[in-house]
Structure 1
């Protein structure tokens, strides 16, 4: 999933010609200590921090206090890359730019949660279940093949290490009957560790 799908236009931003007063007002609106800055042509110029403005006259320009950070992403980047940057820098917003450094918007924690909801297929009805598999190539294929042969569509798959050479696989499918899934995997000698019907929204 690319960042551009989750870009928001609702974020603290001013032009580099803005006054300290305007910039502080924008920060108060978004309850943040930073503001993203662009030039008149829409190019990303950097960010300005509240602490750098406190000693300035309210009617002076923020121009000289703008700094170009390394925490911004391109709209064609993968959302996972943006999330790593977000966690590393712990900023409330990540600026999003195009190839010519034009500011396209920003992504926030809320946008990452929206992406996670879609990746987990939490917004659609189905059944989510987990199984423990050997942590080696080919094990997941048994599960995928069994679902395909039963004409059950997979909506999302997540795997995590669980220790002892095992991997927990959490799968959501568009099936409606838990009993059918349990019997299917019992026939394969695979125990379903947890199973839950989700209504979606």
Structure 2
């Protein structure tokens, strides 16, 4: 899925000459953790985050006089003094997978979306991506997530999908992960039903092992040293 379909298009931005207190108020008013910093032509210059602001804010342990002096100092600080210049960005034709990898590597929560001239046309956040993945995987409809363990052989997913289809169950999605054990795969079909007794029995009869998805995730932690 392309970022253009999932990004937030109404982006709150700020200019480089704006004050620190103005940036803090904008984040508070709009409930956002960062602000792209743009020039008059809309070209991205940098980004300022709530973390940047917190690092510049005075300590709560200051005396009233010290707090007053710090407030005056903050009033003189401009966004350009704190912003991260040339931040990591994405284009609208990038995929959600591209954005997720960049966010994890850059240790950030949001990415500005820019056009070929580096003008800001949107912003993509982890919340936007979770919402998009929820839609793609069909998780916004009531259903049941199964965890099916299988040997790592070709055709295993087809066997699972065929069994689900032959039971007349609608399939929302199937995620696949390498299991904690060697030569095993974990399949996570999301079924649009809460009545899973028959399909579980059928899958077990086919030689698959079924686990609670949470138990699978916690398996290495419960194994101990």
Question: What range describes the TM-score normalised by the shorter chain of this pair?
Answer: 0.7 to 0.9
Taking structure 1 as reference, are residues 93 and 11 closer, same or farther at Cα in structure 2, changes over 3 Å only? farther
**Bigger share in strand:** 1
- Deviation of 1:141 after TM superposition, in Å, equals 1.7
Question: Per-residue deviation at 1:78?
Answer: 0.9
| Runs (5+) with no aligned partner, structure 1 | 196-201
Deviation of 1:144 (Å):
1.8
Contact between 2:46 and 2:87, CA under 8 Å: does it hold in 1? Answer: no
Classify the secondary structure of the residue corresponding to 2:159.
helix
* Partner in structure 1 of residue 36 of structure 2: 36
Change (3 A) 1:87 1:11: farther
Deviating more after overlay: 40-49 vs 55-64: 55-64
- Residue 198 of structure 1 corresponds to none
Q: How far apart are residue 137 of structure 1 and its match?
A: 2.2
C-alpha deviation, 1:140, in angstroms: 1.4
My pick for the range that moved more, 133-142 or 181-190, is: 181-190
CA gap 1:133/1:40 in 2 versus in 1, 3 angstroms: same
CA distance in 2, matches of 1:176, 1:18: 54
1:23 aligns with 2:20: no
| 1:1-201 aligned within 5 A | 1-9=1-9, 13-16=13-16, 18-29=18-29, 30=31, 32=33, 35-48=35-48, 50=53, 58=75, 62=79, 68-162=85-179, 163-194=181-212
Q: Structure 2 unaligned runs (5+)?
A: 58-69, 214-225
Cα-to-partner distance string for 1:90-130 (whole Å, 9 max, x where unaligned) = 22321112233221221223223323423442210222211
- Deviation per CA, 1:146-193: give whole Å up to 9, x if none: 223444332111122221311111111224421221233244232433
State how many pairs are aligned.
195
Contact 1:131/1:190 (<8 A) preserved: yes
- Residues 64 and 128 of structure 1, relative CA distance in 2, 3 Å threshold: closer
- CA 1:130–1:113: 2 relative to 1, 3 Å: same
TM-score (norm 1): 0.76
Q: Are the counterparts in 1 of residues 11 and 121 from structure 2 also a CA contact under 8 Å?
A: no
Moved more, 43-52 or 56-65: 56-65
| Alpha-carbon distance change, 177 to 27 in structure 1, aligned in 2, over 3 angstroms | closer
Q: Tell me by how many angstroms 1:17 deviates.
A: 5.2
**Cα separation, 1, equivalents of 2:81 and 2:211:** 58
Taking structure 2 as the reference length, the TM-score comes to 0.69
Give RMSD over aligned pairs. Answer: 3.3
